[in-house]
Amino acid sequence: MKVLSVMRMSVCVLLCLVFLGITSGYASEKCMTCHEQKSPGLYRQWKESTHAANGITCIDCHGANEGESDAFLHEGELIATLVTPQDCGACHEQEATETDNSYHATAGLILDSKDAYLAHVAGGSPVAIAGCEQCHGSKVVIDPDSPNKLARNSWPNTGIGRLNPDGSKGSCTPCHTRHGFDKAQARRPEACAKCHLGPDHPQKEIYDESKHGNAFYTNVDKMNLNAEDWVVGQDYYAAPTCATCHMSATGKQPVTHDVGKRISWTLRPPVSKHKENWEAKRANMKDVCTACHGASFVDGHYYQFDAVVRLYNEKFAKPAGEIINLVRKNGLLENKAGFSNDIEWTYWEIWHHEGRRARHGAAMMGPDYTWWHGIYEVAQNFYFKLIPQARAYNNPEVNAYLDKLLTEDPMHNWLSRESADLKSDIRSGKMQKVYKKLFEMR
């Protein structure tokens, strides 16, 4: 009797699975038939995708369960417009886990940062929604009166750190553009260019000016972008892309969707710091570099890059931070709101714009961004905006700090010396000795 019961149960389960497969297939067929007519571009993208080739259809990604906050009834099927990393993780579990642990997934936390504050108060909410949140991500809000249950002030949004109704963070589609999800497209530098460009983080422009970018665009037909594994030095070797350095496989490392695993400095804040486990992360990146470069070349690059970061930190970032702190400590700001005083804007642009450009330029071998768009503008704003603005308060403590900095620090006392003497120091190597410690610090 027990055997018969088990057999009956097995038959029932099998029949249920067959029924579900039939109904799922019928639902998918309805989706495709309709969308082929109503949104042919979307349909064609899917039709030519790897998803389609493997039988992954609309309902597999957009199907929803009863009780999901963003689920709604559409043509007899319960679906959700939003496809989240949690949904993608049903098939791509490792990729979803790595993404959730990455800096990309936390980008939506900028909603409580100074960047978002500035966009809302100096600009206004519309620009924060259509600007900042379209890269960093927004909190997607449910609107029960909306046809797709997503509030229009939070959808559409493909921000990399989007905060989704199901509790997941992030979005896969900024890199794997729907509905083709083409891996070749995600491997190209343009995939990152929606967000990684502009005055405060111009990685795409830096890449384009670098020899890496030049080599890519010259040899794009040799990049084998559709390869299944795409291992640098094996499947391609003409040039690296953003994905090569930060995500893609090497002979020793697998693909990762944790974009921080190979980054040793944090170049975002006012003062750069080494990341946790930075030596291991640097070793990971050096492994990528040595697929094409000799070890001495790679070591030399990091020797120069580290010195630029320390130069920015020690010569400009730390003193600038101390100046602004003394101004605030002594209650010298005329207006109460953040960014309502000239000196605050000057300080912001020194670290948030020019300082970042310099650091990223050095990191990615973009000399124009390292100097002309970077340290050149840092120095100009530091010496001829920030310091005069601080002097204008005529505060004893602020003035005492500035006097000591500009007369006793050999990196700054050039302002009070003769040009002929300074040129002599440059030719003799004496000037380089002032900065020697920046190459040797850890």
Q: How confident is the model at residue 29 (pLDDT cuts 50, 70, 90)?
A: confident
Q: How confident is the model at residue 111 (pLDDT cuts 50, 70, 90)?
A: confident
Distance between CA atoms of residues 308 and 315, nearest Å: 10
Distance between CA atoms of residues 370 and 310, nearest Å: 13
pLDDT at 276: 96
pLDDT at 12: 43
Examine the pLDDT at 46 and tell me if it is beyond 80: yes
pLDDT at 146: 92
In tens, the pLDDT along 331-362 reads: 999 999 999 999 999 999 999 999 999 999 99
Which residues have a Cβ under 8 Å from the Cβ of 181 and sit 6 or more positions away?
49, 50, 51, 172
In tens, the pLDDT along 186-218 reads: 999 999 999 999 999 999 999 999 999 999 999
Segment 135-148 mean pLDDT: 93
Helices (H), 54-161: 58-62, 85-88, 93-100, 114-118, 125-127, 133-136
Domain ranges of the chain: 186-259, 295-440
Two tokens at 264? 């040793």
Please tell me the pTM assigned to this model. 0.90
In tens, the pLDDT along 245-298 reads: 999 999 999 999 999 999 999 999 999 999 999 999 999 999 999 999 999 999
Percentage of the residues of the chain whose pLDDT score is greater than 90: 88
Q: Which position has the token pair 């100009």?
A: 380
Helices (H), 336-392: 342-348, 356-363, 367-370, 376-381, 387-391
In tens, the pLDDT along 167-182 reads: 999 999 999 999 999 9
Cis preceding-peptide flag for 156 (omega within 30 of 0) = yes
C-beta separation of 334 from 288 below 8 A: no
In tens, the pLDDT along 395-413 reads: 999 999 999 999 999 999 9
C-beta separation of 269 from 221 below 8 A: no
Strands (E), 42-140: 72-74, 77-79
Q: How confident is the model at residue 112 (pLDDT cuts 50, 70, 90)?
A: confident
Q: How confident is the model at residue 32 (pLDDT cuts 50, 70, 90)?
A: confident
Two tokens at 26? 């019928």
